[in-house]
Amino acid sequence: MTFFEKIQNGQFWINFAKVAVPFFVIVTIISLLINSSSEIFSGDFKALYQNNFAGDQWKTFFGYKVVFSTLYGLYMTNKNMK
Return all residues near 39 (Cβ < 8 A) that are at least 6 apart.
45, 47, 48, 51
pLDDT beyond 90 at 71:
yes
- Segment 43-64 shows an average pLDDT of 93
pLDDT beyond 90 at 82:
no
pTM of the model: 0.88
User: What's the pLDDT score for residue 1?
Assistant: 83
DSSP 37-68: HHHHHHT-HHHHHHHHTTTTHHHHHHHHHHHH
Report the C-alpha gap between 71 and 65 in whole angstroms: 10
Classify residue 23 by burial, with Cβ atoms within 10 Å: 0-12, 13-18, 19+. Answer: middle
Report the C-alpha gap between 82 and 78 in whole angstroms: 8
